Amino acid sequence: MEKQFKVPIRNLFCMLSYVNDSIELIESLNDVDEDLITYDFIVNQFLTEVVKLNRRGFVKDYVASTESTSRLGGRVMMSESMPYILARQPVVVCEKDQYTANILLNQIMKSTLQGICKNRYVKEETRIRSFTYLDYLAEVDTPPLTAESFSSVYFTRHNVHYRRMIHLARLLYDLTLLSHKQGNWSLFSAVLNESSLNSIFEKFLLNFYRFEQQEYRVYSEVIQWKLDGDRTLLPSMKTDISLLHKNGKQKIIIDAKFYKNVFQEHFGKSSFHSHNMYQLFTYLMHQSKELNLRGILIYPFNGVEVNETYQWEERMTMEVITLNLGDSWRKIYKRLITLLVEQ
């Protein structure tokens, strides 16, 4: 049976909050017992935001709409109207700006509510509550939610109060994609999809270190090959996470790998994935010789704990570690912060 990563809902919530640049959501739940933070809990946080927005009044904006009409109004669309004109019909196509609540922010809200209503794993009273809130948005459409829906959202001073609702909607969308029911909703079992989960794991670590420490400048670094010849044929070298200390003398390069197995097997012998080791070593060898370097490969723990360090000259080490995403969030947080000072 294929191994699956079992991650408490609180930890997925925190990881995705970093991925979506919404760590204020984590801070708002710091006083809540981790065992109480279930999928249903997050749904109810979202529903609470819907009630607040309804009381304040949903944001409206002007949206262009077109219609075939015998009465002139708005802007006449000549190319669209030409078939009617040639057919000598008393009809033209006009474009009008309509002041409406049927805008992207409210569409995301309503589509999320609709998804909750149909989710049979959510408590019945929560589904009923969500269904009643659909009436708030009677004039609003419900397009299918996609990643592009959320990336198209822009906040201004007029709609910034929607931020928390949108972040919660995005989390619910991501959690639904990543997870399936395993026992009860207090524990999600992420179905292993190394390409998508690797991207999330990488961005989580990048943004974690951007937000949670001040000793290092954190960025993703494009490295130039130190080779003569046609470089256009060479593969690109881009680190997942580079951390340059403010003293300018120390640098850490982190490679995040969301693999189901930290080891590869070859003729019955277990070893670390060779291409991961070669890649990180190449990154390190292309750094300035004036730097003290640490290269760290981080894999999620999936049954085997690893914490190995290898030395290359006095100024450079390579490390391979596992991070247990099933631990309490406090332990994960402490482990990642401590990692920066370990030698």
pTM summary value:
0.79
Bridge partners, 217 (sequence order)? 244
Task: Answer yes or no: is pLDDT of 294 > 80.
Answer: yes
- Tell me whether strands 61-69 and 92-100 are parallel, antiparallel or unpaired: antiparallel
- pLDDT tier for residue 47 given thresholds of 50, 70 and 90: very high
Residue 311 has pLDDT above 90, yes or no: yes
254/174: higher pLDDT: 254
Q: What angle do CA 337, 341, 343 make, to 5 degrees?
A: 135
Coil/strand/helix, residue 146: coil
Answer yes or no: is pLDDT of 189 > 60: no
Residues 37, 29 contacting (CB under 8 angstroms): yes
Counting every residue written for the chain, the total comes to 343
| Residue appearing with tokens 């999936």 | 302
**Cross-strand pairs, 63:** 98
pLDDT tens digits for 207-217?
Answer: 999 999 999 99
pLDDT (tens digit per residue) in 111-142: 999 999 988 878 899 999 999 999 999 999 99
Q: Between helices 194-212 and 329-339, what is the axis angle to 10°?
A: 70
Q: In percent, how much of the chain has pLDDT > 70? A: 92
247-270 mean pLDDT: 85
48-68 per-position pLDDT tens digit: 999 999 999 999 998 877 778
Q: Is the dihedral of CA 316, 276, 210, 12 positive or negative?
A: negative
Q: What local confidence, expressed as pLDDT, does residue 343 receive?
A: 59
What phi and psi values does residue 271 have, to the nearest 5 degrees?
-155, 165
| pLDDT band at residue 1 using 50, 70 and 90 as cut-offs | very low
Whether 217 contacts 244, CB under 8 Å: yes
323 within 8 A of 332, measured Cβ to Cβ: yes
Is the per-residue pLDDT at 178 higher than 70? no
Report the distance separating Cα 203 and Cα 16, nearest Å. 9
Burial 233-257 (b: 16+ CB within 10 A, else e): eeeeeebbbbbbeeeeebbbbbbbb
DSSP conformation class of 168? H
Residue pair 250/290 in contact (Cβ under 8 Å)? The answer is no
Please check whether residue 6 is in contact with residue 326, taking contact to mean a CB–CB distance below 8 angstroms: yes
pLDDT greater than 70 at residue 149: yes
Give me the percent of the chain exceeding a pLDDT of 90: 53
Of 36 and 195, the structure prediction assigns the larger pLDDT to 36
Q: pLDDT tens, 5-36?
A: 677 778 888 898 899 888 888 877 777 777 66
Please give the pLDDT value at position 8. Answer: 79
Return the structure tokens found at 157: 């001073």
Hunting for tokens 């995705």 — which residue is that?
A: 16
Q: What is the pLDDT of residue 188?
A: 52
Per the model's pLDDT, the better-predicted residue between 170 and 29 turns out to be: 170
DSSP 181-196: E-SSTTEEEEPP-HHH
Residue 71: pLDDT band (50, 70, 90) is: confident
Q: How far is CA 24 from CA 13, 167, 261, in A?
A: 12, 10, 33
| Nearest CA-CA partner of 250 in 283, 223, 285, 215 | 215
- The pLDDT of residue 304 is 85
Structure tokens at 11: 């930890």
How much is the average pLDDT of 66-85? 79
- Tokens 């922010």 map to which residue? 105
Instruction: Flag the least confident range among 5-14, 242-251, 274-283.
Output: 5-14
For the segment 66-84, the average pLDDT, to the nearest whole number, is: 78
DSSP 59-120: --EEEEEEEEESS--SEE-HHHHHHHHHTT-S-EEEEEEEEES-SHHHHHHHHHHHHHHH-T
pLDDT at 50: 97
What integer is the mean pLDDT of 326-337? 92
> What are the structure tokens assigned to 274, written together?
């060779």
Which helix or strand (DSSP H or E) is residue 126 part of? helix 124-133
The residue that leads in pLDDT, 77 or 249, is 249
Both tokens assigned to 245: 């200390």
Cα 36 from Cα 212, distance rounded (Å): 25
Cβ(190)–Cβ(177) below 8 Å: no
